[in-house]
Each structure stands twice: as structure tokens, then as C-alpha cells.
Chain A
Amino acid sequence: MRLFASGWTSVQMAFERERRIRWLAIISLPVLIAAAVGINAWRNIGDYRHGIEIDVAQGASELDYGGAAWRLEQARLIGDGRDTDVQLPGEMRLIIVRLAATAIDDIGEGWGECSVSLTDEAGRRWLPLDVVLSDDLSRDLDPVAEPLDGCGISSLDPPARHQSTVIEEKFVVPATAASELLVHLSFGALRPAAIAFPLGLS
């Protein structure tokens, strides 16, 4: 009789333990699901933030960014016959932007995923022409000079500390937007932080 009672007690204990584990599993399920969704969302938000520019430092002269001091070297508006004789059809204008950078730190791979764009007050965004077309236009405008590299190529070989470089990008924009354009510069690792300079074109 005592043996039977002892066996019955251990069965009861095992049953209770199993019941506790089952409840623990059920209760932990929503917590684990919520944690998985939260971690995934956090990663997606991080990826999204590295794709946008919302923390934009704007300056008229020089700005520190990505281990270098940046300034707007030159902005040209081509197509209305003032800068060169070139007349582009209708509202189409070509804008050539040169940005100069002096490295104040070891940049390494810090300029990866470089992005240069123009924006206007309405939030419209113009991206640069591709490398082949950009080089062709450079040679058309100045057959003697070697075309300058754009941001993408320059980011592969950034200047050493205290050295300088100049990058050039070309954009096609409507004439009506030219006077209010800002040039934006950002790197993947630093986004959503970016810098911007007003082109000051008339």
C-alpha cells in the first residue's frame, strides 16, 4: 500500500511538471513571436535609415563629413548659351557639380555607397548621369581635359590624410528648377546623416 502511494505521488509530480512546462511554452510563445517581429523590424528600420537622408547639414562654405572637409568647388549651368554656346532643347539644362574634399582623417572604406543628388524646394530629386554618358559629355565640352571621376569611383580610392580630391557629377534638370537646387552628398555608413550645399545658380 505504501509502495503504491509512493508511485502515485511520483506520477502526480511528473504530471505537474509537464503541465508547468506546457503552460510555460504557451505563455512564452507570444513573447518569442513579439521579440522576433521586434528584432526583424529593428533591422529593417536600420536598413531603411541607411537608405535615406533626413539629417542633412547644410552649409554655404565648408562641411566636415566622412572624414573629410567638403566644399562646393564649382557649379555650372549649361544649355542656355551663357556658360558655353551649347543650347539644349526646351527646358532641358545640364548641371555640372564639382565637390572638393580634403581628408582630415583616415577614410578607409568610409565612402562606400556614395550618393550625390540634386534636390529642389518641392522635394524633387535628380540623380547623376551614368559614367559613360558623363565622360562623353566631358570630352564634348573639353576634348583636352581628362574627365574627373564621380563619387562612386572616387569612393574606391579616397584621398589619404591631408590629401585632397575633386569629384564631378552631371545632372539633367528643368531650367525652372535650376535656381533653387541643393547638391546632397552622403555615404551608406553615415546615412541618414548627409551634407548639402546650395548651388547658387541663377
Chain B
Amino acid sequence: MKTRFVTIAGVIVAALTLSFLQTTTPPYAMITGPLKTSGQQGEAVTSTTFSVQVGDVARARTIGYNRFGEAVALESSGVWVVVSAELRGFKETMPVHGATIVGASGRRYRQSDRASGAPDVLSTKVLQPGLPTTGIFIFEMPEDETGTMTLVVSEQYEPQLQDEISLTLEPQDEAVRERLDIGPDGI
């Protein structure tokens, strides 16, 4: 009788222990997730491998630029958000392909493929240690998402055990422009 009681108690304790371990184990995506650093627009936010300093943020209904000598104008049913930034790499030559804006609702907007041919786009450049690199990120998103924005930058989208820098962008007080021209040196 005593042996049976001990056995049942042991099984219950083991089940509770396993249940506790299962519910408190962080998910794989969290264990191997990004190494996060955060800051504000205007300040140089530095991680181990690179830094980002956001300059201007502009919103427009249409963006225009020259590509291979031809004028390009891209309209949006939402708004274009163009962010200028200076990036610095510290350890090794690296690209910065991952840039996302987290909008007011929490939805995430990656860089626009429609505007990938625009000049001075940072995702087409490579950071060289010791050399600052300036350029722009271009996003297309609904206007009501631009009230509160956070820019998230990383070497690749969905980084694993790699640096990811988040920058809270200042509230956009100015009205949305009808047109924003992007030159060879950005905005």
C-alpha cells in the first residue's frame, strides 16, 4: 500500500515538474532571437557590430527620382515614408538588408520593393568598418500608421543571435507632402 502511494506521488511530482519546465521554457525563436538595442531618432544608437543615427523622416504621396536617365514617379494610395540615416560598421564588412517600420497599430512594414531602384538606398550598400555610410530607407504604408513609428534595422530580416537596433521616430507634425524628390544623395 505504501509502495503504491509512493509510486503515484512520484508520478504526480514528475508530471508537475515536466509541466512546469514545459510552460517556462522560452520558445526557440526567443532563445535564438535578435540582440536588441534601442534608442531615439537623432541619437547614434550603437550595438556591438553597427550603429544607426536617423536624420530626417519625410512623408509624401508621390516620390520621384531619376533611374538610368529616366524620371520615375511612384504614387501611393497610402504614403511613402523616407528615412535618412547614417550607419557605421565596427567589426566586419556587412550589408544592412533588414529595415522595418513598426506602425501605430503594431503592424510591421518592410522596405518597399517598388522603390528599390531609387538612388542612395541603404539596403543596396555595404558597411565598411571605419567608414560612415549614409543613405535612405523607403517604406510604403497607410497614413494612419505613421502617427507613431519605430524603425528596426538589422543585417538581415528576422536576425538570429545578431544585432538589431530599434529607433523611435519623432511624431510627424507636418502635413504629408504631395511629392518628394530623391536625388543622388538621398533627401
Could you list which residues of chain A lie within 8 angstroms of chain B, going by C-beta atoms?
A: 90-92, 123-127, 172-174, 176-177
Contacts and interface: CB of A to CB of B under 8 A. Distances in A.
A125 B130 contact: no
B129 A125 contact: yes
A173 B130 contact: yes
Interface of B: 90-93, 128-131
A124 B131 contact: no
Nearest to B128: A172
A198 to B, nearest CB: 18
A127 B130 contact: no
A123 B130 contact: no
Contacts of B130: 91, 124, 173-174, 176-177
A127 B131 contact: no
Nearest to A90: B131
Contacts of A176: 130
A174 B92 contact: no
Given A125-B129, A126-B93, A127-B93, 10 more contacts: A91-B130, A91-B131, A124-B129, A124-B130, A126-B92, A126-B129, A172-B131, A173-B128, A173-B130, A177-B130
Nearest to B91: A124
A99 B157 CA distance: 36
A57 B106 CA distance: 52
A119 B90 CA distance: 12
B51 to A, nearest CB: 14
Contacts of A127: 92-93
A124 B89 CA distance: 10
A90 B132 CA distance: 10
Question: Which one of B90, B91, B92 has the highest number of Cβ atoms from chain A below 10 Å of its Cβ?
Answer: B92
Among A91, A124, A173, A176, the most chain B Cβ lie within 10 Å of the Cβ of A124
Nearest to B90: A124
Contacts of A90: 131
17 contacts: A90-B131, A91-B131, A92-B131, A123-B91, A124-B91, A124-B92, A124-B129, A124-B130, A125-B91, A125-B93, A126-B92, A126-B93, A126-B128, A172-B131, A174-B130, A177-B129, A177-B130
A27 to B, nearest CB: 18
A172 B91 CA distance: 14
A9 B64 CA distance: 94
Contacts of A124: 90-92, 129-130
A125 B92 contact: yes
Nearest to A92: B131
